[in-house]
């Protein structure tokens, strides 16, 4: 896991910034790294890799859409998972062999599998061992295809839980107040309060993600606030002036 560290300069490279309380309402939406952090990540290079992450219901999908609108190509890890688990997906044979009866002509029975992995951490690790390498190959192809771009974005829900953050130059965490997060998730078809809490319990706490971020993108304070933060990140990563 990345260590907590101070962001020494803001996006303009002038003012010192320190976030001492990651659980407070104050964010560092204007604080972005201007140099590498020895021992943590490789030096900034082209393309600049923005690692976008956030817990369920934080609004990460809408944020990634904003990055695309600003000309930043986005690799959507969730979409990649759906591809390898969908009809004819590359993960299906191994999933069926490991979890008999969970796949069919339409691909993975996501509801059935969700019930299994939420109740059994060992089963979740087995599923991840099947799916993650396939998604990793798709991510590598994405990076290769966009190697000439100034910036790219990796939209990965479990970015900080694994080692994926090491390949990123900027870690951006999407966050919102708990009551907003809960309302969004419970609005999804078939989602129950028990399922919501079970999912939250196995994810890294939002406060910890915020503490480990280079920049926090708030999605509970209005669309304009969110848009301005995303725009600043995109402009910085693309090498543009503010």
User: Do 193 and 209 sit in the same domain of this protein?
Assistant: yes
Whether residue 9 is contained in a domain is answered as no
In what helix (H) or strand (E) does residue 139 lie, and over which residues does it extend?
helix 121-145
Cα separation, 31 vs 11, in Å, equals: 6
- Return the pLDDT at 58: 96
How many angstroms separate the CA atoms of 50 and 59, rounded? 16
pLDDT (0 to 100) of residue 32: 56
Q: Is residue 56 part of a domain?
A: yes
Rounded to whole angstroms, what are the CA distances from 118 to 87, 104, 185, 189? 23, 21, 16, 18
Q: Which residue has the tokens 């999912």?
A: 199
pLDDT of the residue at 31: 52
Is 14 a member of any domain? no
Q: Which residue, of 145, 168, 189, is where some domain finishes?
A: 145
Domain that residue 126 falls in: 78-145
End of a domain among 124, 145, 166?
Answer: 145
Work out the end-to-end distance of the chain between its first and last CA atoms, rounded to an integer number of angstroms: 31
Regarding whether 87 and 47 lie in a shared domain, the answer is no
Number of Cβ within 10 Å of residue 205's Cβ equals: 12
Tens-level pLDDT at each residue, the chain (242 residues): 344 333 323 333 323 333 333 333 344 344 554 433 334 455 555 799 999 999 999 999 999 999 999 999 999 999 999 999 999 999 999 999 999 999 999 999 988 898 898 889 899 999 999 999 999 999 999 999 999 999 999 999 989 988 889 989 999 999 999 999 999 999 999 899 999 998 998 889 999 999 999 999 999 999 999 999 999 999 999 886 44
pLDDT of residue 241: 43
Looking at residue 118, its pLDDT comes to 84
Residues 196 and 166 in one domain: yes
Tell me if 66 sits within 8 A of 222, measured CB to CB.
no
């Amino acid at each position: 896991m990345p260590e907590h560290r101070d962001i020494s300069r803001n996006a303009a490279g002038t003012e010192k910034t320190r976030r001492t309380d990651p659980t407070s309402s104050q964010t560092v939406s204007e604080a972005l790294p201007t140099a590498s952090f020895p021992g943590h990540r490789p030096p900034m290079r082209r393309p600049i890799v923005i690692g976008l992450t956030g817990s369920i219901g934080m609004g990460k999908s809408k944020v990634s859409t904003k990055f695309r609108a600003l000309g930043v190509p986005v690799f959507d890890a969730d979409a990649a998972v759906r591809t390898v688990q969908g009809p004819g997906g590359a993960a299906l044979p191994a999933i069926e062999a490991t979890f008999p009866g969970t796949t069919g002509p339409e691909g993975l029975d996501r509801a059935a599998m969700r019930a299994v992995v939420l109740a059994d951490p060992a089963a979740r690790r087995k599923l991840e061992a099947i799916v993650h390498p396939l998604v990793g190959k798709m991510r590598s192809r994405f990076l290769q295809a966009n190697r000439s771009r100034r910036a790219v974005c990796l939209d990965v829900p479990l970015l900080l839980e694994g080692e994926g953050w090491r390949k990123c130059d900027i870690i951006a965490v999407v966050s919102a107040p708990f009551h907003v997060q809960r309302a969004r998730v419970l609005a999804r078809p078939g989602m129950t309060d028990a399922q919501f809490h079970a999912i939250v319990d196995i994810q890294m706490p939002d406060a910890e993600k915020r503490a480990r971020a280079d920049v926090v993108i708030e999605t509970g304070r209005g669309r304009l606030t969110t848009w301005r933060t995303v725009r600043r990140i995109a402009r910085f990563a693309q090498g543009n002036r503010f």
